[in-house]
Amino acid sequence: MLPDHIAIRANHLSKQYKLGGPEEPYHTFRDAIINSLKAPMLVFHKKPPVEGFWALKNVSFEVEQGEIIGIIGRNGAGKSTLLKILSRITTPTEGTVELHGRVGSLLEVGTGFHPELTGRENIYLSGSILGMKRQEIDAKLDEIVKFSEIEKFLDTPTKRYSSGMYVRLAFAVAAHLDTDILLVDEVLAVGDAQFQKKSLGKMKNVGETGKTVILVSHNMAMINNICHRAILLKDGHNILDADPGKVTHEYLSNLRCDSGEIVWPDITTAPGNEIVRLHAVRILQEGIAGATSDVDISKEVIVQISYWNLKAGAVIYPAIWLKDKNGTLILSSSHHKAISLTEDLWAAKPHPTGLFVSNCIIPGNFLNDEIYSVTAILGLYPNTTQVLEDYVVTFEVHDTGEMREGYYGGWQSVIRPKLAWSTELREK
């Protein structure tokens, strides 16, 4: 039995998947909730198979009631596997997990609702699975509908919903119905920016009411802003459990590539598809031979993206996002003529097949002395993303001291461009 203040306890939790063998049955969110009602405090013990891939290995932690915990890590680190175990969609191979209270999950678009039922019917179905009476669901209905902003489509089957509509309703249901633990995966990224902001506020409020929230996200700013604690997973292991600021800094620091470049030499396995594939991302600077992860604040920084166009006539655009050490997006750029200082000859033009190299130049004395990360994006005009590789390379800007002459304080900003100033004496 867990102490009253503990909502979740994972003890040496591991999950192994067989390679090339039969997969275990996939359970829906409804199956998971029904199972949790049959055994609200379920402990799993299973012997490991002879061979396979360990998606999680020996992960242990406790979560107190009312805590908001962020789970971060690279793709394949085990984040989604952990949430599926906590939501009882899948079972662990080794270890135990104990849950105190009802669990609501928002893990994947397309799971959780019956596609043939309307939004209204799915709300009542979700509530009844949680053991709520019809009168209790009635009391929550207006609040759910208002939050989801899908009132006009409430009596439309959810199979006709867009991914954004589905997420809005699914989150509204999970956040407003009678659950004690809320599990949320990166799925919120599907929604629009305004709804994401509203959802973050709701998750904060959920925590303040004593409910527990486990949030998986690549958005470091989100983790820092709403979480009380964060857990960093790497290769299925829990390598750090601490204050969100410390964990996100460790994560971004570990992403730093000492060479300042990442290359995919094999076109068949490089990120992408049958239209376009990423070849390399490099950080370059004048006076330094080859790529570098250490740049001088006073000199231009070149972010170079090379890619293969595999479909003759495709109109490709390269783009980048630049994020600071907290994962806050500080700038985005593309070669499109509307946002480029120079005219790129291939902007909005059909590409022949071949290897292309694009350079984005960030002026000197623009960035602060800090660690930055690059997200590489390739898309088809006008705005269809084909490749998005987050945190592919990181680099550190070093202050040469020129801007500190006569000033000894810290520059409190993520950018610090040299701007034009003038002062005049108007009267004595």
| Interatomic CA distance for residues 86 and 428, integer angstroms | 72
CA-nearest of 101, 118, 109 to 177 is 101
Question: Is this prediction's pTM over 0.85?
Answer: no
pLDDT for residue 258: 64
Paired with 157 in beta bridges are 118
Q: Where in the chain is the domain with CATH 3.40.50.300?
A: 6-254
**What pLDDT score does 201 carry?**
82
For residue 25, the model assigns a pLDDT of 53
**Dist. CA 233–CA 217, nearest whole Å:** 12
Distance of CA 186 to the CA centre of its chain: 5
Q: What is the CATH number of domain 261-400?
A: 2.70.50.60
Report the pLDDT value the prediction gives residue 49, as an integer from 0 to 100. 47
Residue 256: predicted pLDDT: 58
pLDDT in tens, the chain (428 residues): 555 689 999 999 999 988 665 555 545 545 555 555 444 555 544 554 456 789 999 999 999 998 999 999 887 889 989 999 998 888 999 999 999 888 877 776 556 788 899 999 999 988 887 778 899 899 999 999 999 888 999 999 988 988 778 888 888 888 887 788 888 887 665 556 677 778 878 888 877 788 899 998 877 878 888 899 999 999 999 999 999 989 988 887 776 566 789 999 999 989 999 999 999 999 999 888 899 989 999 899 999 999 999 999 999 999 999 988 777 889 999 998 888 999 999 999 999 999 999 999 999 999 998 889 999 999 998 878 899 888 888 898 988 766 555 555 566 788 888 888 878 989 98
CA distances to 54, 74, 125, 364 from 108, rounded to whole Å, are 22, 18, 18, 42
Residue ranges of the chain that CATH labels 2.70.50.60: 261-400
What's the token pair of residue 219?
Answer: 């958005």
Q: How far apart are CA 166 and CA 189, in angstroms?
A: 12
Fold of 6-254: Rossmann fold (3.40.50)
